[in-house]
Amino acid sequence: MSLGDTVHYLLVGNPLSNSVISTAAGIARSTGLISSKTTPGSSRSVTTKNMANSLPLWKLAGNNLYFVRLAGLSGATAVILGAYGSHRKYPDDKGELRGVFEVANRFHFFHSLALAAMPLVRRPAVTAPLMILGMVLFCAPCYYRAFTGDRSFSRLAPIGGCCLILAWATMML
C-alpha cells in the first residue's frame, strides 16, 4: 500500500469519513447543489461528478499539491511549537503570555488545515499567499511575544489578522 493510498484511506476511505461524505452528498443532492440520476434497473443514485469519487484527494490537487505539502510542513511546525510551548515556563506569572501562545498555536493549526484545502478553492494563487502571509505576520509575533515577553513585533499581528481575513474572503470569489 502506497503513502497516497494510506492518506486516501485516512481522509475519505474509512467508514467514518465515508458516512460523513455520503451524508453531505445526500444533503447536496436534496438541495440541488449536485444533480443526480438513477441508473436503469437500480435504485442507487449516481452523481454526475463520479470523477471526484474515484480519485484520491492527492491526485485531485494536481498542480496545487505544493500547497498541501506546505500545509504539512506548517502543521508539523505547529505541533513542534505546541509541544515546546506547553512544556516551557513563561516570563510572566499571570499567565498572559501562555494565553498569547495558545492563540498563536490555535491560529497556526487552523490555518495549516485551511492551507491544505487550497487546491479546492477557485483561485489558490491569490488565497494561499494571503493565508501564508497572514500566518507568518500573525502567529510569529505572537509566538515571539509569548516566548520572550518582548512586544516589539506585536504591531504586525493585526496586519497578519487582516491578511487572514482577506484570505478567507477570497475563497468566496
Which pLDDT tens digit goes with each residue over 52-69? 456 665 566 677 788 889
List, for residues 2-12, the tens digit of each pLDDT value: 666 666 666 66
* CA distance readout (Å), 116 to 33, 54, 84: 23, 20, 24
The whole-number pLDDT of residue 17 equals 61
pTM over 0.85: no
Please give the grid coordinates belonging to residue 64: 496545487
Identify the CA nearest to 145 among candidates 110, 86, 104, 94: 104
H-helix or E-strand spanning residue 37: strand 36-38
